[in-house]
Every structure is written in C-alpha cells, then in structure tokens.
Structure 1
Amino acid sequence: MLQSTILLSASLFAIGRAQQIGTIAAEVHPPLTWSKCTTAGGCVAQAGQVVLDANWRWVHDSSGNNCYKGNQWSATICPDPVTCAANCALDGAPYVANYGVTTSGDALTLKFITGSNIGSRLYLMSTNTEYEMFNPNNQEFSFDVDVSTLPCGLNGALYFSEMPADGGMAAHPTNKAGAQYGTGYCDSQCPHDIKFINGAANMLNWTGTSANSGTGTYGSCCSEMDIWEANSISAAYTPHPCSGTGLVECSGATCTSTCDQAGCDFNSYRWGNTSFYGPGKVVDTTKVFTVVTQFITVDGTATGALSEIRRLYVQGGKTIQNSVTNIPGLTTYNSISDNFCAAQKTVTGDTNTFAAEGGLKVMGQAFARGMVLVLSIWDDYAVDMLWLDSDYPTTASPTAPGVARGSCSTSSGVPATVEAAGGNVQVIYSNIKFGDIGSTYTGSPYVAPGGSTSSSSTTSKAGTSTTSTTSKADYFHHKLQGDDVHHLQGNDIHHLQGHHIQGYHYDYCAWSHADSLWTVRWSHMEVSAIAYSSRRLTVPTDDNDHSGPTTCASPFTCQYSNDYYSQCL
C-alpha cells in the first residue's frame, strides 16, 4: 500500500500504541468465519477472529494518563523510547461503538467514520494470541466484497504483510501485548507513523502530521502483497517484495531502499481498459462480487518459485476473466509476471525497483515464510488516493502511458472532504476462502454484450493487436484419454502419473501472453491421490462439452486454423 506518509486518524480512545497490556477494558476479538478449501474435500469452515491494529488503541499509564495525546507524546510518561514502552499499556477495543467494526458469520464490515474515529486496520487470527499465517504459493485466495459506497479517495484494502505471527513478542520481550492487541505491523512503504516498533516507542524526532498522527525516525518494513486496493471506481493488485526477512526496522535512506515501494500493479483502467471495472461496467461495483487471486509457481507446487499472479472475478454466478492490457507499446497481458512488470516499467519510463528487489521469486520466498492477512479502510493524506483512481502524477500528461488510473478528478480524495461526507461509507469483506487452485469459487462463463465470452484473449506482434476468440477452451470438463493431448511442452508437465495421460479432470485454464500459450491445470483423479499437472496446449477443446459461443462478434469473422484453434479476425 502507498502508505509511507499516510496519516491514520483515530478516535479519542485510539490515540496511541504501546507494548504493555492494560486492564481497564477487556479485549474481545470479533469472530469471523472463513474457509480452507481443497479440490478433494471442498471447503471447510474455520472459526477465526479479527483484532484491531494497536495504532488505533487507547494507550495509557497505570493511572490512566495518556501516553500519547493529539499528535504528541507525553514528555513525563515517555522520556525515552524504552521507558515509554515500559510505562504504557494498550487496552481493549470497543469494536462496534468506537471503531465501527462488526462481524456476522463470514462477513466483516468496516465503517469509515464512527464518531471521531476514521478508518481501521484489522488482522485475521488463528488463536487469541497469534495471527493466522498464509503461504499463498500454488494456492488461491478468494473473497466477496461490497465497495458500492466507497467513493473517490477511499481505499478498502485487503492484503498480506510479512508480520510476525506473535506480533513480535518473542523477538522483543519488551512487547508484552503482542498479536492479541494488534502489534507488529509492517508493510512495503516502511511506514513511520507506527508508534511502537520492535518493543520501543518510535518517538525520536516525532513530528505531528495531522491532529492525531505523526511520524518518527524509524519505519517498519516488510514484504507486502496487495491482493485488493479498491473503491467503487478503480482497483489494483500489487506485489511489493523487500530485500529483508520479516519485519525490518529502517531509518534514513534504508527506508526507501529496503522494499519495492512502487510495486508492480495491475489496474485495469491504468492499463487501458476503462470499461472493465466500476459502476455498471463488466465488474459492476454497485453489486457484490467475488475476487479470486491465483498464485502460480513454476512447478505447480508450494515449494516452487512464484512465477505468475492471476486475477479473475465472479459476479451474478458468472466468471469474469481479468481484463487485458491495451496500452501502446505494451505487449498484452492479463496477469502479473516478471515479464509484465518489466514491460510496464519500460512503457511508463519508471525505474524497475520490482526487479531490483528480486521480483516474483523474492515475493514467493516471503510467502513461504508466512504472511498475515490485513483488512482495512483508509483515506490518503499524502496524495489523496490519486495513485489509485485518478491521474497520477498530476504533473504528467493524462494521455501518457500509465498516468490515468481512474475516472476521478485530480481534485478529489482530499481527506477533509471525504471524511466530512463519510458517515455512510463502509466496506464489507465476506466469504474468505483459501486453498487449492480452482477450489475456492464456482461460476459459469461471463457473456459480454454482443455474445462474446470474457475469455477472449489478445495477442500482439510488433505492436499490432489481434483479437483471438478461443471459446472452445473455456469452462468445460474433459478427461484426457491416451494421446488425446496436443502440443505438450516437455518440462511444462509436472507431477505426471504414469506413462499414459488418463483420468485427468479440468480445473482451469488461462492465457499466457508471455508464452502465447494456454496454461491448463488438470487434477489427477486416481483413487490413491490427487496430483496436479500444469501443462501448456495451443487450445484444448472438447466439442461434446463445448457450450460457449461458436460465432464471432461483429465486425470480426471466424478464420479456421484446425480442429482445435480458430481466430476472430
């Protein structure tokens, strides 16, 4: 998230963060059901809970005096960072009354304004004292979201950060509160507004930056995977690898060199499809929809190197493939890969800090160490969220590649304005699922106006784009028998069981623009085990199972190539 200088306002009872445990108010985590899924056994409900980040909590000494008030530390209680941590305690959070946080079954509602409180940030927990840890490699993460009330300038963000599972208690004994009270936050922006880092107050050179917030000398860095940063106008998903392991405290120049702060984002509007996401568009933000993110590895295992991050949506029972890039000079892509990241940096002229920090390989290494799920709603005191939903940077031409990120005005998103109008603004996250690829969602093909499916792909050569309708490859179930496989690519077959390719069941397919091939995932249906085979075919098909369109949308005509491949030209 772009949060390096973002000021997170808080309520009168949420004005600081400390490392001791208070006794004035009990901490009761709101319950939140989510699901673990497998292709073999389906989805199993998990009894989870969420915890409010410590930065929002009331922090006080043993007599109830504020350790931090307004945007300043108490000089009496906090003469130095270590003494401050010893003197100050975090207390329980009035989730509903003060923070506008409610849960119901598998749904979490975060209100933007509750009294004087603004925004919130929460973490999913496995126990009362530890965060739930995720390894997304070779896995799929899905959730439902309602962003219908989120206007320009707001961000309902759901993401993974490489935070410590216990909130930093074991590594820093002065931190007595830990994950139970929401400590240990870090992200790729190395935020300086974190009031306690590694068990000590971040009070040195503290400078107030709003009525309730400020920044100190130190930042809190770690790898971050933004699965979802969005409002009703624009959306993006973005990996941010870092060179360090876990939470790294930074100062000075290291705070801008430790992580890929810019990230490698996929924002449909920014990359040329302005009709894909928003009110009344293909993904209609006036209604609830499902966001599915797939983390592909080179060998189809959880230990393989991360090679691609895919996105699709489900709305109204229909599966919608991600949009395809449509920017002059940019080869067409519909997912995040190292090639896509290099290409987008080239076309925009931006420095490829993503590659410099190790790209998807390093991002996958962070995944393997374990990531915490973060759920939040916030506004942006730094640049008014223009980087998400408007023209940014504002000094560049709006027609330059990658500058236009949404339809919001460059004068929108001012915190004072969105906060004044934010009384009925909220985001609802629900139906969170995590598991095997293809196991967390169901949906039939999306049919766009005019009769074409959402899976039409675009390839380009020498800057010339050609639309290729490959509807026969979409949403069918097919068992391979014997040699009924075409154009297999050697080492692209993984975990193949036996000499004959039999008894495989279709899970999903996706177009790889980098390789100009369909990648197809089949699950091995032998009784003894379920394995996976990631293989690349030109266009796999089964005429008997095909139920998609067989004609091209106007003005294109169908050009037959062979029994397995045709193009709309």
Structure 2
Amino acid sequence: MYKQLHFITFIVLSTCILNIVWSQKAGKLNPEVHPTMSWETCGIDGNCTTNQGQVVIDANWRWVHSEQGTNCYTGNTWNPTFCPDDKTCAQNCYLEGAQYQSVYGVTTHEDSIRLNFVTQSQGKNIGSRLFLMENETNYQMFYVLGQEFSFDVDVSKLDCGLNGALYFVSMDSDGGTSRFPTNEAGAKFGTGYCDAQCPRDLKFISGEGNVDGWVPSSNNPNTGVGGHGSCCSEMDIWEANKMASAFTPHPCDVVGQNMCSGDTCGGTASSNRYGGECDPDGCDFNPYRMGNKTFYGPGLDIDTNSVITVVTQFLTSDDTPTGTLTSINRLYIQKGEIVSQSQSTIEGVEGNKVNDQFCMKQKEVFGDPDSFTKHGGMQQMGKALQNGMVLVMSLWDDYFADMLWLDSSYPVNGTTTQPGVLRGPCSTTSGVPADVESKYPDAYVIYSNIKVGPIGSTYKNLKK
C-alpha cells in the first residue's frame, strides 16, 4: 500500500568525463548476471510445464555513476556536477551491474528466491525489490485475467514492521526502452518501475533523472522525493509478515506506466493523497481487519510458522481470459489441506471475496474515501490484468507509516472500536525502521513454486 523503499549507494572517487548523448546508460564496470529462477505454467488437467526465468534487481538499488566511476548520487543527494537537471543527469550517469548475494542478500535456487533484510558489505543494504524476467532484456509478462496464480511463501522470520510483498504492476516489458529511447539500460538493469502510489523516490523515470525538485528525506539517509512520479496499476497479491496479511487491487485511469508531476501524482509522497490518476488505497482484504483475529498468524488456522501455498483466482463475467473481472478469490493450502479465505465478520460487509459490492460496502462502513470505485473498480483492474503485468518480489520496512496500516491499528489516532482501524495485533509503537533494522537484521522471506493456469489447475493434483 505504501511502498516507499530505500537503497544503498557506493562511494567511488575519480575524474569525470561527460557524455554527449542524452541517455540513461548501462554500466560496464561490473557485469550484470541475473540469477536464474524457474516457474510453471499449468494446463486444465493440472499438468504443469517448467519455464526457466531470471530475476533482476530494481534500478533504484544500483550504483549510479559517471563514465569514470564518480558517484552521481550519494546518500540521498545528487551530485550537481553530473546531475544539475533531469536530462543532463540521464546524459551523464550509468546504472551499474549488481552483486546479488554479497551486496543485496538475494539468492535463488531452482524455483525459489530468498530475500534477506539487512546485508552488510561495502555498505549497508536494507531490503530489495526484484522482477521476474523472460530473458536477458525483457520482463516476464503475466496474463492472469480468468486464471489463477499460486506460489509458496515463508514469512516465519518477518516480524511486526516488515513486509514481504509479491505483486503485479503494469510496467513496460522492456523496462521502457522502446517508448523512451533515452533509456539505454532497460529491463536488463531493472528500469521502469511504477505502482499505484506513483512513487517519487525513483532515481530515473521514463528515461530521465528525477533530479528537478528533489528533496532529501528527513528520516532516511538514502532516499528523497523528486519532482516526478511513476504511476501504473498494481495488483498486490501478497503483502504480509507473520502477524498480518492482505491482498489488494489498485486500479489506475491509464493502463500502463505514466510519468506524473509533483503533488498531482497523489499517493504517499504527495500533499493530496487522492489527487492522482491511481487508487492509492485499493480495496484490501486483510482477515484481521475484516474481523477474524484467529485466522492468520503463528499457530493459527493459517500458521505462519510454516510455509503457506497462496492461490489467487481472477474470475471473469464469462469465465474466459477476455471477460470482465468480477471477483478476486483467495485460497490457502497447508499440510495438504485447502482453506478458503476467512469470512468477514464486519457488520454490513459480507463475504470473503473482493468484488465491486464488497469494496463499496467496505469503504462505506470503514469511512474510507472510495477511490477504488472512482478509478474504475474491478473493470479497470481487469483491463490492466488483461494487458499483462510484471511480477515484483520484495522485502521492505516502512519509513512513512511504520507498516502500521498492515499489522497494527491505523490511523494511530483512530478509535479501535471503529471498523477498519484494527489491521493486526502489532503495537502502534512497532515498525519504526531503526528499531526493525536493529532487532531483525537476520529476517528474510522466501518465495517459491510459482504457478499460473486455469482456475483450479495449480493445485489440481492435490485435490485428487
């Protein structure tokens, strides 16, 4: 919901040589070698075919430097010599290849990926955000409308204030190189990120630097807010730690990545949260928030001490991948048992599926702005799903709201008897990033066994 992430930089000093061509360049000082990760496509009979993919870390985590290796960005400020403005910055600066395990704490094995929370090397890295790739230069596009998507996840090491998030966004498959020729780095270097918060902490957007209007963060030594944001539809399949979880569709007026300016972006970093083209809140289903406090957590119905298989189904009006999205359903599988999402116990909000009626009733009862309906609701979310989306896998802590919106009482000045305020069992004093990073440096999340196929296909063999 509030994906404000942060990253490390490296300090390297040398002489600069300016380039003539305006472009966001690909570095050559460190090789970019993508870790491999497989996933499966399933048929209606439940038989699945293995696809060999790769993962790439988001460009925002990468070292950005001049041709000779001088930092273009250090801490949370831009080097004015190389980056006096957006276009000049893209002309002068390179995105460098990543050292996945030693610097970012990312490892893969066959069909799984592990993301470590704190990794200490030349600097201190906190969390990560990665995309699944089809090949060296293109993200894998997923078309899940009328289909189901499943994966296994281990959140047993994620305590209050942490978020292991797996979700889809409407990024360009090539990272933006076709639409923005000034972006030479492309998907190979993890460019083109966008989401429904229209994030303004990105270093590069649409082939340009995000230097103009950049304001360093007051509470994070590595991030800031620039004059532009990067908007697109977002389908949060999974945002969770071991105490709470949620899945949330976020439609946008425009299908696909779009650059916005200043506070007209809306979202987390803007003065008017609801002033942009996307729905920043979405329509979430969090079992705890919907009244069931014994469904999800350590030792509960869905036991977060053990690996969980998560199945998300995108049902359409005519049961085909070309119909209108009508409902998003959730199943869990543990120890060979299939468990349906818990039913809402909130008076006036019935069911355990996300659909337009559920969302309108939820907003009304919770007293939340109905930005979901404003931005097209399920139908608009379905258009994004049909158009193809990129899979994101991440681990992060929250410098904006301490992740209280996921696992505690939020807003903190709300009355806990008011429906919708209680979202998880964590204290309102939990989740402060400095505390989380100090107390849980060894935290990690593991995603594995990703499958896509017709409704019921990804777990059909289990049902037999």
Q: Does residue 1:244 correspond to 2:254, yes or no? A: yes
Superposed, which structure 2 residues align to 1:122-141 within 5 Å? Answer: 122-141=130-149
Q: Does residue 1:225 correspond to 2:225, yes or no? A: no
Superposed, which structure 2 residues align to 1:510-521 within 5 Å? Answer: none
- 1:456 is matched with none
Amino acid at match of 1:276: F
What is the deviation of 1:250?
0.8
Q: Does residue 1:177 correspond to 2:185, yes or no? A: yes
1: distance between equivalents of 2:214 and 2:385? 33
What is the deviation of 1:417?
0.3
What is the deviation of 1:9?
3.1
Where 1:391 maps in the other structure, the secondary structure is: coil
Q: Does residue 1:291 correspond to 2:310, yes or no? A: yes
1: distance between equivalents of 2:99 and 2:32? 8
Confirm or deny: 8 A CA contact 2:8 2:75 kept in the other structure.
no
2: distance between equivalents of 1:213 and 1:184? 18
Q: Pick the aligned partner of 2:353 from 321, 335, 342.
A: 335
- 1:65 is matched with 70
What is the deviation of 1:443?
7.7
1: distance between equivalents of 2:103 and 2:184? 24
Q: Does residue 1:214 correspond to 2:224, yes or no? A: yes
What is the deviation of 1:368?
1.3
- 1:305 is matched with 324
Q: Does residue 1:80 correspond to 2:88, yes or no? A: no
Where 1:295 maps in the other structure, the secondary structure is: strand
- 1:410 is matched with 428
Q: Pick the aligned partner of 1:270 from 267, 289, 294.
A: 289
What is the deviation of 1:442?
4.6
What is the deviation of 1:10?
2.1
Superposed, which structure 2 residues align to 1:546-565 within 5 Å? Answer: none
Residues 230-286 of structure 1: per-residue CA shift (max 9 Å, x gap)? 000000000000001211111234312210101000000000000000000000000
Amino acid at match of 1:418: V
2: distance between equivalents of 1:399 and 1:349? 13
1: distance between equivalents of 2:197 and 2:323? 27
2: distance between equivalents of 1:439 and 1:339? 27
Confirm or deny: 8 A CA contact 2:46 2:459 kept in the other structure.
no
Q: Does residue 1:2 correspond to 2:25, yes or no? A: no
Where 2:383 maps in the other structure, the secondary structure is: helix
What is the deviation of 1:329?
2.8
Confirm or deny: 8 A CA contact 1:318 1:443 kept in the other structure.
no
Q: Pick the aligned partner of 2:366 from 331, 348, 355.
A: 348
Confirm or deny: 8 A CA contact 1:319 1:443 kept in the other structure.
no
**Alpha-carbon spacing, 1:320–1:183, altered in 2? closer, same or farther (3 Å):** same
- 2:414 is matched with 396
Residues 157-200 of structure 1: per-residue CA shift (max 9 Å, x gap)? 00000000000001111100000000000000000001100111
- 2:43 is matched with 38
Q: Does residue 1:369 correspond to 2:369, yes or no? A: no
Q: Pick the aligned partner of 1:155 from 157, 163, 166.
A: 163
Amino acid at match of 2:181: P
Where 1:420 maps in the other structure, the secondary structure is: helix
Superposed, which structure 2 residues align to 1:83-102 within 5 Å? Answer: 83-102=88-107
- 1:199 is matched with 207
Q: Pick the aligned partner of 1:424 from 442, 449, 453.
A: 442
Residues 117-145 of structure 1: per-residue CA shift (max 9 Å, x gap)? 00000000001000000111110000000
1: distance between equivalents of 2:7 and 2:383? 33
Where 1:324 maps in the other structure, the secondary structure is: coil
Residues 389-414 of structure 1: per-residue CA shift (max 9 Å, x gap)? 00000111011101000000000000
Confirm or deny: 8 A CA contact 1:11 1:118 kept in the other structure.
no
Confirm or deny: 8 A CA contact 1:244 1:258 kept in the other structure.
yes
Amino acid at match of 1:61: S
Confirm or deny: 8 A CA contact 1:317 1:442 kept in the other structure.
no
Amino acid at match of 1:12: F
2: distance between equivalents of 1:323 and 1:152? 21
Q: Does residue 1:21 correspond to 2:20, yes or no? A: no
- Figure out how many residues of one structure are paired with residues of the other and give that number: 440
Higher RCO (C-alpha under 8 Å, 6+ residues apart):
2
| Higher Rg of the two aligned structures | 1
1: distance between equivalents of 2:43 and 2:232? 29
**Alpha-carbon spacing, 1:341–1:125, altered in 2? closer, same or farther (3 Å):** same
**Alpha-carbon spacing, 1:13–1:422, altered in 2? closer, same or farther (3 Å):** farther
Confirm or deny: 8 A CA contact 2:7 2:60 kept in the other structure.
no
- 1:146 is matched with 154
Confirm or deny: 8 A CA contact 2:111 2:448 kept in the other structure.
yes
TM-score normalised by length of structure 1: 0.76
What is the deviation of 1:8?
1.2
Amino acid at match of 2:83: C
1: distance between equivalents of 2:260 and 2:166? 24
Q: Does residue 1:318 correspond to 2:334, yes or no? A: no
Confirm or deny: 8 A CA contact 1:7 1:214 kept in the other structure.
no
**Alpha-carbon spacing, 1:314–1:130, altered in 2? closer, same or farther (3 Å):** same
- 2:56 is matched with 51
Confirm or deny: 8 A CA contact 1:186 1:247 kept in the other structure.
yes
Between 1:337-346 and 1:254-263, the stretch displaced more is: 254-263
TM-score normalised by length of structure 2: 0.93
What is the deviation of 1:13?
7.3
**Gapped regions of structure 1 (runs ≥ 5):** 445-474, 478-569
Confirm or deny: 8 A CA contact 2:10 2:71 kept in the other structure.
no
Confirm or deny: 8 A CA contact 1:385 1:413 kept in the other structure.
yes
2: distance between equivalents of 1:368 and 1:400? 37
Of all paired residues, the percent bearing the same amino acid is 55
Where 1:126 maps in the other structure, the secondary structure is: strand
**Alpha-carbon spacing, 1:89–1:304, altered in 2? closer, same or farther (3 Å):** same
Confirm or deny: 8 A CA contact 2:34 2:55 kept in the other structure.
yes
Superposed, which structure 2 residues align to 1:479-558 within 5 Å? Answer: none
2: distance between equivalents of 1:418 and 1:103? 25
2: distance between equivalents of 1:11 and 1:155? 22
Q: Pick the aligned partner of 1:189 from 197, 216, 230.
A: 197
